[in-house]
């Protein structure tokens, strides 16, 4: 569909608003399951709004997607949240790098919500250096054999597929010997998934995965063999956009029913305001004002980045800027609530972990500054790729990866 034939954004917004009134439940209504919501959107042409029609999308633009999400916020309508990784990150990566066969096979069920996807990137020994991946992918005729492990994989127990970064050639430099492959996680022999206990003391939806001689068809490769780093960079770009609520990841209006954990939402702000009145703490008052300012500025930044991406004036890693600002602001908001509540924020009766406690929320907030690449990595990306400052020296950049391992004593 040519740009001249596209439905005008405001006409689309009006059509979507009318449809929502008769089909999409409010957050105060009975909650629909994530899969039911995604099926509903897909069946009425509102899933994958910026994806091509031939793969189940609406064939429109990111600006249309933005209008739809904004309208759900205006009407306080439910949206599926668990599909943010599938549609905001994995889907556009497959769209850009997948073969025609892979796009036709994977994208329609992904957009309909019948197949939930996650990323399989981080490894126990890798830290922030994702290019140091050591999970091994070995070609065996028309199949690949996968061995190794991944960790910090959100939602792995519920996911149907994982997009996995692997080492396929150990004789090439670490950024050039990687491949990306789709791994079916349910009913596949040789896969073990173990949930991880979070800093709060609760079992989280983050998991560790172990792969022991997992057989995968060659058609599951996304991108060319040994060129997985380009795919990984695309995936991370969309991940940072999603965390910043821009690009294909602009999928959230109001996150969920129940107490909000950042300013602009009420429990944290209300408790802080009450504490100021009660204790007259000028320092806390300043923190509240700063947190409120951030609650206004963060969505404005996301909107500006979104507009720049749509207009083509912002190219590259602008999602890192939105992601960095949003996660720093969210953590500062929770820290402000802790300052306001004092000991009441970290002490409760009984031995069970209180999930509605601001101290527990503060522990969990650290995850946002790590997921999608740590904030330190985001600052490097902003300085090098947006501000064009010189990169830090990397003496192992051009060495074969197995030689790098020998030099470091890791192999």
For the chain, domain boundaries: 3-81, 117-226, 258-386
3-state helix/strand/coil string of 45-109: CCCCCCCCHHHCCCCCCHHHHHHHHHHHHHHCECCCCCCHHHHHHHHHHHHHHCCHHHHHHHHHH
Q: Note the CATH number of domain 3-81.
A: 1.10.540.10
Cα separation, 108 vs 91, whole angstroms: 10
In the chain, the percentage of residues whose pLDDT exceeds 70 is 90
pTM above 0.75, yes or no: yes
In this prediction, residues 125-133 reach a mean pLDDT of 81
Cα separation, 141 vs 410, whole angstroms: 30
54-64 in b/e burial notation, b at 16+ Cβ within 10 A?
ebbbbbbbbbb
pLDDT at 260 over 50: no
Spacing of C-alpha 242 from chain mean position: 5
Smallest CA-to-CA distance from 163 within 132, 121, 134 is with 121
pLDDT tier at 408, thresholds 50, 70, 90: low
pLDDT at 343 over 60: yes
pLDDT tier at 403, thresholds 50, 70, 90: confident
Cα separation, 91 vs 88, whole angstroms: 6
pLDDT at 48 over 60: yes
pLDDT tier at 259, thresholds 50, 70, 90: very low
Contact 378, 236 (CB under 8 A): no
Query: Which of 265-269, 329-333, 352-356, 373-377 shows the lowest mean pLDDT across its residues?
Result: 265-269
In this prediction, residues 6-22 reach a mean pLDDT of 97
- Quick count: other Cβ atoms within 10 Å of Cβ 187? 7
| Mean pLDDT for all residues in the chain | 85
Q: Choose between 334 and 410: higher pLDDT.
A: 334
Cα separation, 125 vs 249, whole angstroms: 29
Q: Which two tokens stand for residue 53?
A: 């029609």
Q: Choose between 227 and 290: higher pLDDT.
A: 227
Residue 307: strand, helix, or coil: helix
Residues 117-226, CATH architecture:
Beta Barrel (2.40)
Q: Which two tokens stand for residue 17?
A: 């608003």
Q: Choose between 224 and 316: higher pLDDT.
A: 224
Please spell the DSSP secondary structure of 247-284, one letter per residue.
GGG---SS--SS--SSTTSSHHHHHHHHHHHHH--HHH
CA angle 212, 213, 216 (to 5 degrees): 120
In this prediction, residues 363-392 reach a mean pLDDT of 82
Q: Choose between 87 and 344: higher pLDDT.
A: 87
To the nearest 10°, report the CA torsion of 331, 336, 340, 341.
0
Query: Which of 84-98, 214-228, 252-266, 383-397 shows the lowest mean pLDDT across its residues?
Result: 252-266
299-303: Cβ within 8 A, 24+ apart: 299/245, 301/244, 301/325, 302/244, 302/245, 302/246, 302/250, 302/326
Please spell the DSSP secondary structure of 121-156, one letter per residue.
---TTTTT-GGG---EEEEETTEEEEEEEEEEEETT
pLDDT at 270 over 80: no
Residue 390: strand, helix, or coil: coil
- Domain 258-386 fold is Butyryl-CoA Dehydrogenase, subunit A; domain 3 (1.20.140)
**Could you report the per-residue pLDDT of 182-200, keeping only the tens digit for each?**
999 999 999 999 998 877 7
Q: Choose between 262 and 381: higher pLDDT.
A: 381
Q: For position 222, what pLDDT does the model report?
A: 98
């Amino acid at each position: 569909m040519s740009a001249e034939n596209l439905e005008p954004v405001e006409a689309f917004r009006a059509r979507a608003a009318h449809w929502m009134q008769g089909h999409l439940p409010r957050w105060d209504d009975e909650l629909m399951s994530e899969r039911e919501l995604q099926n509903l959107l897909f069946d009425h042409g509102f899933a994958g709004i910026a994806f091509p029609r031939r793969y189940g999308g609406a064939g429109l633009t990111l600006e249309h997607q933005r209008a739809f999400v904004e309208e759900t916020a205006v009407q306080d309508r439910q949206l599926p949240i668990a599909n943010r990784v599938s549609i905001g990150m994995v889907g556009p990566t497959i769209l850009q790098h997948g073969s025609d066969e892979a796009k036709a096979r994977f994208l329609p069920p992904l957009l309909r919500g019948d197949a939930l996807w996650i990323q399989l990137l981080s490894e126990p020994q890798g830290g922030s250096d994702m290019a140091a991946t050591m999970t091994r992918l070995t070609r065996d005729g028309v199949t690949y054999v996968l061995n190794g492990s991944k960790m910090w994989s959100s939602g792995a127990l519920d996911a149907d597929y994982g997009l996995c970064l692997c080492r396929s050639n150990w004789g090439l430099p670490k950024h050039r010997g990687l491949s990306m492959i789709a791994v079916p996680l349910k009913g596949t022999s040789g896969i073990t998934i173990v949930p991880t206990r979070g800093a709060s003391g609760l079992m989280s939806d983050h998991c560790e995965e172990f792969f022991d001689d997992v057989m995968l068809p060659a058609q599951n490769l996304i991108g060319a063999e040994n060129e997985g780093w380009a795919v990984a960079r695309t995936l991370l770009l969309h991940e940072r956009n999603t965390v910043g609520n821009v690009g294909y990841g602009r999928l959230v209006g109001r996150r969920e029913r129940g107490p909000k954990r950042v300013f602009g939402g009420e429990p944290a702000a209300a408790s802080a305001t009450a504490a100021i009145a009660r204790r007259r703490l000028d320092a806390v008052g300043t923190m509240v004002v700063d947190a409120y300012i951030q609650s206004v500025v963060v969505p404005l930044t996301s909107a500006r980045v979104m507009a720049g991406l749509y207009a083509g004036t912002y190219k590259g890693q602008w999602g890192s800027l939105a992601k960095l600002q949003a996660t720093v602001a969210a953590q500062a908001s929770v820290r402000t609530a802790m300052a306001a509540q004092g000991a009441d924020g970290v002490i409760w009766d009984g031995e069970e972990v209180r999930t509605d406690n601001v101290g527990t929320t503060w522990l969990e907030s650290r995850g946002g500054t790590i997921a999608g690449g740590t904030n330190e990595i985001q600052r490097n990306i902003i300085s090098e790729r947006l501000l064009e400052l010189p990169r830090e020296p990397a003496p192992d950049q051009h060495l074969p990866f197995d030689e790098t391992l020998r030099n470091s004593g890791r192999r």
